[in-house]
Amino acid sequence: MVKLRVHNLAVSLDGFATGEGQTFEAPFGHAGGRLMEWFFPTQTFVSLSGGEAESPGAGTQGVDDALAAAAWKGVGAEIMGRGKFGPQHGPWADEAWRGWWGEEPPFHTPVVVLTHYERPDLTVGETTFLFRALPPEDALALAASVADGLDVRLGGGPTVVREFLHADLVDHLHVVVVPILLGRGVRLWDGLEGLDERFDIEVVASGSGVVHYLMTRKDRGL
């Protein structure tokens, strides 16, 4: 049975998953890189960003790395919000924008991009982006159908994750609480009163200062 999994979703101590003012230059707005500083030193990130070619095995291998790496295990498709693909709003002015990731995006699977403005499928490297206007249930069905029997990763942003949590479609939720106070931006937890009752929750503090929350839906063993 295909599971829907969220990994490495970082929020500030005051609950913001992105800062204010997303632009091409600042995908996390005024948060800058601060929500992901725990991730950058990991072997997982170094490898994803091509650093391994220069120095094989570089990067940390502690709990941050182990949990970060889990995001790429057994995943056959991703669902993401349009804001993760790019900072544009409204109808596409053109189709020149091919995502933040250059010519070899790190997904290597089909990616369903949720948007009110559909456009033709786009293949970049080993990743094919499918731009669809679909409610959560149908987006999950589409992603599952192209995931080759593997799980589906829900890649964010926070608004999209919240919608899927509201629809009770998320089986595994890995949230990383970073000890900073952003004060403004997009909150992850709004309107999710009682969510904890539907999940088993494991909590791990890392030496880096972040805290990992591993939430597994109670009616679904993982």
Interacting residue ranges for a copy of itself, rule: CB under 8 A: 13-15, 177, 179-184, 189-196, 201, 203-205, 209-211, 213
Q: Smallest distance from the beta carbon of 128 to a copy of itself, in angstroms?
A: 36
Contact 139, 146 (CB under 8 A): no
Q: Which is nearer to a copy of itself, 46 or 214 (CB)?
A: 214
Q: Smallest distance from the beta carbon of 18 to a copy of itself, in angstroms?
A: 14
Q: Smallest distance from the beta carbon of 45 to a copy of itself, in angstroms?
A: 21
Taking residue 188's Cβ as centre, other Cβ atoms within 10 Å add up to: 24
- State both tokens at 51: 């650093």
Q: Which is nearer to a copy of itself, 14 or 138 (CB)?
A: 14
Q: Smallest distance from the beta carbon of 124 to a copy of itself, in angstroms?
A: 36
**Element spanning 67, H or E:** helix 63-69
- Decide: helix, strand or coil at residue 115: coil
Q: Smallest distance from the beta carbon of 182 to a copy of itself, in angstroms?
A: 6
Q: Which is nearer to a copy of itself, 204 or 222 (CB)?
A: 204
Q: Smallest distance from the beta carbon of 90 to a copy of itself, in angstroms?
A: 29
The answer for residues whose C-beta is within 8 angstroms of residue 133's C-beta and 6 or more apart is 114, 115, 116, 117, 118
Contact 174, 67 (CB under 8 A): yes
Q: Smallest distance from the beta carbon of 147 to a copy of itself, in angstroms?
A: 29
- State both tokens at 8: 């490495």
Contact 122, 105 (CB under 8 A): no
Burial class (CB in 10 A: 0-12, 13-18, 19+), 19: buried
Query: CA-CA distance, 112 to 79, in Å (whole number)?
Result: 5
Q: Which is nearer to a copy of itself, 135 or 209 (CB)?
A: 209
Q: Which is nearer to a copy of itself, 82 or 172 (CB)?
A: 172
Q: Which is nearer to a copy of itself, 12 or 128 (CB)?
A: 12
Q: What is the dihedral of CA 213, 33, 166, 139, to 10 degrees?
A: -110
Q: Which is nearer to a copy of itself, 26 or 211 (CB)?
A: 211
Query: CA-CA distance, 182 to 50, in Å (whole number)?
Result: 30
